[in-house]
Structures are given as structure tokens and as C-alpha cells.
Structure 1
Amino acid sequence: MAALVLFGSFFLLLALRIPVAFALGLASLPVLLFEPRLSPSVLFNEMFKAYNSFILLAVPFFLLTANLMNGGGITDRLMRLSRALVGHFPGGLAQINVILSVFFAGISGSSTADAASQGKLFIEAQVKEGYDLSFSIAITAVSAVLAVIIPPSILMVVWGGVISTSIGAMYLAGIVPGLLIGLAQMATVHAYAKKRNYPVYPRANLTEIYKAALVSIPAMMTPVIIVGGILLGLFTATESAAVAVLYAAVLSMLFYREMSWKSFMTAIVDTGKLSAVALFCVGTASVFGWLLAYYQIPKALLANVTDWGLGVIGVGLLIAGAFLVVGCFLDAIPAIIIVGTTLQPLAESVGMHPVHFAIVGIVSLAFGLITPPYGMCLMISCAVAKVPLSFAIKDTMIMLIPMLVVLLAIIVFPDIVLFLPRIFSPEMIK
């Protein structure tokens, strides 16, 4: 009955177009009101416990890093390097779009921030050069999801805080899957460009590549500082995010000198708004998840599944399927808190490594950022282009196919995920 009230109220509120964060909190209220052993004060207590987390401080820090990088001319320098490296490939500007997303993913950790900045940079520019508008929207949206897979990732921070998995190990584990998905996207662009005869840029010479790399090296040191600092034990994930903010501020204001004090304050205000949205979701989802645990709903849901005799691959496919479906309707952060904690015992029961479980879950949730009806990155890209969501659905779905192949490979071959942590930080994955 509790499950029926919780999920029934939640989906009803979603159907009424109530924002997800409010729907999770409001769906929890009827149970708290009518259960004699509970009271509405649980809502506030559990939300406060969720916010009282040192790890979650990393979320606003990474968002601020991304905003400082965008406002400080760092994105422009990374775009120059991307053009020098892949501009001569078929579909040159779209290839630059993907490569810039790879670079930006190593800085921001936020796919929505990436989609917004890339959309403004690329969609109109690609159309002017002869690319189809639907293709331009689709490649901008799908490449933006790399930001939650390639470290530093806000989803990895939340996962580590909620499911107690080593964030440093997840950072290392996300590198290869993220690069493989980036390569899959570049191959898709290549196929489109050959079929539709999209334009290319002249090949850059070694001097141009050297100059572009030279001005970009300071910006590309950001992920090295973040991940390297954690692995060397110099600071925690949260402290690394604070260091990234200081580094981005120094680069933008003192080194490149392209950010004014006014722009700096604007970046802080924008970060506050984005952080409030993300962390409010964390609070209400934590209450919803607490009620699921209180009534042992996950145990009841998984009671029969554990009797199916699935191995690691079977459970991996089940986990990916669950996150792929949930991601279509729910933001990634509440999905981690609710679905991730529900599926964790199942993953443990078949001996699935916690880091492997985390990466399968996060990569699967990344698809939810581009699949309707939620599809936040696709929504942002369509909003930038001023077209309805349905306009770019066909091209978006085509681009998801090679990405799904990479997801399947990650499930079947866990070493794709685990070999970097085993080499550089074996103590983190014991």
C-alpha cells in the first residue's frame, strides 16, 4: 500500500507537470501524514540530513568551475585546439563539437551546463555551414552527456555520497567508457558527413596544432589536478572541487585576463541557481528513498529477481535497463538515490564490483539526459534552436545506437571499467 501511494502520487504529479523535485516531496507527504509511527517532520529531518553532507559540497564547486571557464575565454581556446586536431575530419565542425565536449567534460562535470554552452556555440554555426538543423541539435545534445561520464562528474560525486563508493576509483573508471562513447559519436558524425556531404576545414599544420595546444594546456590541467590530487591523497573529492574553482578563477581573471569582476559575480549567481535546483532534488529524493527503505519496498521488489539465477552480465543488463527506463522520466540525481540504492543489494548478490555497478548505472542514466520525455540536454538544445523536442528525435535516436553498443561492451567486459583503477589506485577498489 505504501508503494502504491508513493509511486501513484509521484506519477500523478508528474502527469500534472509538477517539477520532479516537488513531486518527490509531495508524494512522500500522504504516507507521512497517515502512518501513525511517522510525522510530516520526517520530511524536513531527512532533507536536512541529505544536505548536511561534505561530499555534496562538490556539486556547486564543479558548477562554478564550469561557469568560470565559460566566462573566462577558456572554452574559446579549447575550441581552437579542437579545430586544429579534428577540423579536417568529415563533418569538421560537428567533430569539433564532440571533441570540445570531451575537453569540457574534464572541467565541468555538468551535462546541462555543457549543452547550454555548446548549443549557443555550435547549433547556429553548423546550420550556416550547411548542416541539417536536426543533426546539429542531436549531436550537440548527445555529446553533452560526456560531462557526467568523464571525470570530474557531479553524478559520481552524488553516487559516492549516497552509495558509499570510492569517488577517486569512479573518476578513473569513467575515463575509458567516456572516451569510447566520444569515439562512437565521432564515427556517427563521420557516417552522416559522408552520406550528406558535410563540409570540412583545411588540415592544420604542426605549428598551428602546437600553438593551439600551448594556450590550452593550462585549461586542460584542470582534470589532471582534480583526479591526480585525489589519487595522490592530497585532497578529497570535495576539496578537489574547491581547488578547481580557485584554479579556474586564477586562469580566467589573472592568466587569460578575460573575466571582469562583474562576470565573476554573474558566474557565482548562476551557480547558486543551478546548485539550488540540483540539491533540492537531492533532498526530496532522499525523503522518498528513506520511505522506500522504511517499508522495505526494494527488498520486496527484488525478492523474486534474486531467484532467477542471473550472473553479473544478466544483472548488469537488468540494471542498465532499469536506469534507461527511469532516466526517461526522472532526473539523474533522484534516480541514483531511489533506484541506485534499490538495485545495490542485487548487484552485491552476484558479486558485481561496486565501481562497475556505478559506471553501468551512470552511463545508463546519461542516456536519460537525451531521451524524451525528460531529456534535459535535448530540451536545452531544442530551446536554443527554438524548435519543439520532436524535431530532432529521429537523428537523436540514430546517434544513441552506437552509444548503446558501448554500454553493452561495458556490461559484458568489466575490465573496460576496472583496469585503470587497478593500475593507478588498486587500494580504492578492494
Structure 2
Amino acid sequence: MGGNVLDTGTAAWILFGGFFGMLALRVPVAVALGLACLPPLLIEPRLWPMVLVQETFNAYNSFILLAVPFFLLAANLMTIGGITERLIRLSRSLVGHLPGGLAQVNVVLSIFFAGISGSSTADAASQGKLFIEAQVREGYDRSFSVAITAVSAVLAAIIPPSIMMIVWGGVLTVSIGGLFLAGVVPGLLIGLVQMGTVHAYASLRGYPTYPKSTWTELGAALLVAGPALLTPFIIIGGKIFGWFTPTEAACIAVLYAIFLSVIVYREMSGRGLWKAFSETGRFAAITLFCVGTASAFGWLLAFYKVPDALLAGVGTWEMGPILTGFFIAGVFLVVGCFLDAIPAIIIVGTILQPVAMEAGLHPIHFAMIGIISLAFGLVTPPYGLCLLISCAVGGIRMTQALKDVCIMLLPMLSVLALLIMWPDMALLLPRLLEPDFLK
């Protein structure tokens, strides 16, 4: 293979075998990706171990990726600054009277929080602490409480501003503004089917509701939470009208969160500010380290032409756009069970991009299929990071919540199927509001 010591098949076995072998030994994903790169780099005379460092740092040489820590910081500032409490009050006024009132509030708060944080794991951790024990005290089954908290957290990966969208746009050169607009309708539909699932559970199991709020109470809750609700409109609106880039939007979100927490709500202390920065640094380090090692792993796959070998037979299947969409979704759903979304985007997204282009899928449509499929992987074992976090907070094993998670995923998968068959679900808003994003 062009003078390489290792042929394509052997290189693929070493890379993937080493990676999954280390995952089985519970090595962290980012570290496993980096270590799996070392054997080919040591064996191949034309390569050397410093390539791992070079390719890792090349991945960080991206202005767009600066948005990731800033969005995480905005979310932490809003949580610590009392903004989440205002959103809970508004959510309860809106949907607390529906069957399964507290679980409905859980879902609606996830929709609101998704428009601020962009991080499903941050959502799962914060929502778990707020809602799981509270729901159990009100008579909800613990497995249901854990499952709905984990499942609703995936909305942060779908509703803009999503960190997955930022990484996808930066790696695969897709309009991030277009992705932000494309995620609105599918994200809200998934939120609605989650609320419908809660309604069905509550009707069958007799979960409690709250008294219906008066118009005065609703107006007061909306007035208090209104400034926080402006955040996603500032971010997305600024991107649509060309006022700032995604990274600049993330910086604006941080400044606005500080303004709300310190000036408007006056709940941010010096200790709280330090906590927000320290937690953001920890989460951002994990996320960006994963981006770097996954990029090095992807570089080696390209060097040995592994994607070409994997896709050699796919072109002969002659699938149309719809079948290709289901094929792509199936691949991402399986990959999401074993791999974090960010390395999956960098490695698998790059591999599948030519398949999507050949089938005539619009890059934004392809991106939304991949992002939503990978978001579902956050609650499917064995990886299922959001489910693991929620189970840890709820004090139960993953297997105890798995039945309820599977039931909740079924209507969500129907939304994914509808997206594949009806591309305008993702493309309608970009086409109406900013057609340049589709070019």
C-alpha cells in the first residue's frame, strides 16, 4: 500500500482492536484513542510518535472550537447564578398541571436549558440533582425518574446551540448557523414526544399533577425568566444576521450570563464564579482532549485508506436518499453505543460523508441525521454517558432503568425516521430564514 509496512486491513485491525481492547479495560475514551495510534506510528518507518502530538495540536488550531468551553461556561454560570431556578418556575407554570407534572417540568426545563448550554452531560448532571429525588418523593418510580432525566438531556445535543453541531460544522465544513436552525424543529418535536410519553406513563401509573397556574402566576414566572430565555435568541439571531461567528456568540453568551447572574438576579458570588470556571475547565479539557486524539486516530485511518476499504462495497448497493439516510442513522446508532459523540463525528462522520454526498443528501440533512442518532447513543449502553450519570445520581444500576429508556426511545426514533424521509424538517427553517446557509 504505497510502500507502507502495514496494509489497510492490518492497520485497521491494530487501530480498532487496540481502541476497543482498551475500552474493555475501562481506559478513558480520549486516552484509548491516543494509545491505539502508537503501534502503527512505531511500526511504520515513514511515521514516528510525534505525529500523534502534531495531529492532536492541529485539531486544536481551530477558532470554531473555542466556542465549546465558552458555551460550557455560560451554562455553568447560569446554573450557579440562579437562572435555572427561574426556568423551573416558568416550566412548572406552563406544564405542571399536565399528567406527571414534575416529569413534564423536567422535559420542558431540558428544552430551555438546551438553548443555553449545548451540553447533554451538563444537563443530565444538573437535572439529575434537581429532579430525580424530588420525583421519587412525589411517588414516581425511581427507574422512570432516572430514565426521563437521562432521555430529556439528549435535547441539548439537538436544540441549538449544540456542541455537537459546532464540532460537526468545524470538522466537516458545514454551516454552523444552518445547523443551529436545522436543529430547532426536530429538537422541539422530540421534546413533544417525550412529553407525550410522560403523559402516557402518568395516566397508567397515576403520577401526580400540580394545580393549574393562573394567568397572573404564569405572567410573573415569564417576567422573571424572560431575560434568561433571550439567550438562545441572542445566539441564534446573531448568527443568522451575521452579527457574530459561533465563537463570538459563545463569548456573548458568557458575558450575558455574567450580566444576568451578577446584575439582574444578583445571586453570583465570588465562590460561585470560581466554581463555574473550574468546572468548565474540567469539562472542556475532557471534551477537547477527545477532539485531539480522535483527530489523530482519523488521520491514521486516512493514511492507511481504511475509509476507502470500508466503503468499497457500499457504492454498489445503489441506495436512494431515504435508504442511505436509514443506513447512516443505523451506523451512527450502533457507533453511539460504544463511542463518544465527538470522536464518532470526527472518525465516522468523515467516513460516511462521501456516501451521503453520492446519495444526494444535503450536508445539513446528513448532519442532523448523524447528530440525532449519536444523541440517542448518550442513553444506550454500554457507553450511554447521560444514562450513566443519571443512574449514578439516582443510585440505581443501568439495567434497572433500561426498560423505561427503551420505551421512551421508541417515539423518539419515529421522529428520526420522519426526519430521514422528510428532509424539510431540518431544511425548512434555514431555507426560510437564511438560504445562504444551504449553499
- Give 2:3's aligned residue: none
**Post-superposition offset of 1:220:** 0.5
In the alignment, the residues of structure 2 paired with residue 85 and residue 42 of structure 1 have an alpha-carbon distance, to the nearest angstrom, of 54
Paired with 2:279 and 2:29, the residues of 1 have a C-alpha distance of: 21
Q: Distance in 1 between matches of 2:304 and 2:143?
A: 46
1:117 maps to which of 123, 126, 140: 126
Task: Tell me how far 1:172 sits from its aligned partner.
Answer: 0.1
Per-residue deviation, 1:205: 1.0
Q: Which runs of 5+ in 2 are unaligned?
A: 1-9
Query: Helix, strand or coil for the counterpart of 2:72?
Result: helix
- Is 1:132–2:141 an aligned residue pair? yes
How far is 1:251 from its partner?
A: 0.3
1:36 match: secondary structure:
coil
Corresponding pairs, count: 430
Q: How does 1:33-72 map to 2 (within 5 A)?
A: 33-72=42-81
Tell me by how many angstroms 1:103 deviates: 0.3
Alignment partner of 1:231 is 2:222: no
Aligned to 2:5: none
Which of 162, 166, 169 does residue 157 from structure 1 map onto? 166
Separation of aligned partners in 2, 1:427 and 1:45: 35
Q: Tell me, in whole angstroms, the C-alpha distance in 2 between the residues paired with 1:231 and 1:293.
A: 34
Matched, 1:349 2:358: yes
Question: Post-superposition, which runs of at least 4 consecutive aligned residues in structure 1 deviate over 4 A?
Answer: none
Q: CA deviation at 1:388?
A: 1.4
Structure 2 counterpart of 1:311, one-letter code: G
CA RMSD of superposed structures (Å): 0.6
Query: What letter is aligned with 1:64?
Result: L
Q: Which runs of 5+ in 1 are unaligned?
A: none
Equivalent runs, 1:94-109 vs 2, <5 Å: 94-109=103-118
- In 1, the alpha carbon distance for the partners of 2:217 and 2:401 equals 35
Partner residue of 2:404? 395
How much has 1:296 moved relative to structure 2? 1.3
Q: Which residue matches 1:421? A: 430
d(CA) in 1 for partners of 2:71 and 2:219?
Answer: 29
Aligned-residue offset at 1:414: 0.3
Q: Which residue of 2 aligns with 1:170?
A: 179
Question: Does 1:370 pair with 2:379?
Answer: yes
2:287 alignment counterpart: 278
Q: Could you list the per-position Cα deviations for residues 378-430 of structure 1 after superposition, in whole angstroms to 9, with x for gaps in the alignment? A: 11111111111111111111100000000000001001010000000101102
SS class of match (2:319): coil
TM-superposed deviation, 1:287: 0.4
**Where does residue 192 of structure 2 map in the other structure?**
183
CA distance in 1, matches of 2:321, 2:260: 45
TM-score (norm 2): 0.97
Deviation at 1:27, TM superposition (A): 0.5
Post-superposition offset of 1:367: 0.7
Partners of 2:13 and 2:142 in 1: CA distance: 43
**Identical-residue share of aligned pairs (%):** 67
Query: Which residue of structure 1 aligns with residue 419 of structure 2?
Result: 410
Distance 2:186 2:285 in 1: 29
Whichever residue aligns with residue 264 of structure 1, its letter is L
Whole-angstrom CA distance in 2 between matches of 1:412 and 1:296: 32
Pairing 1:141-152 to 2, within 5 Å after superposition: 141-152=150-161
- 1:379 pairs, out of 388, 405, 410, with 388
What's 2:221 paired with? 212
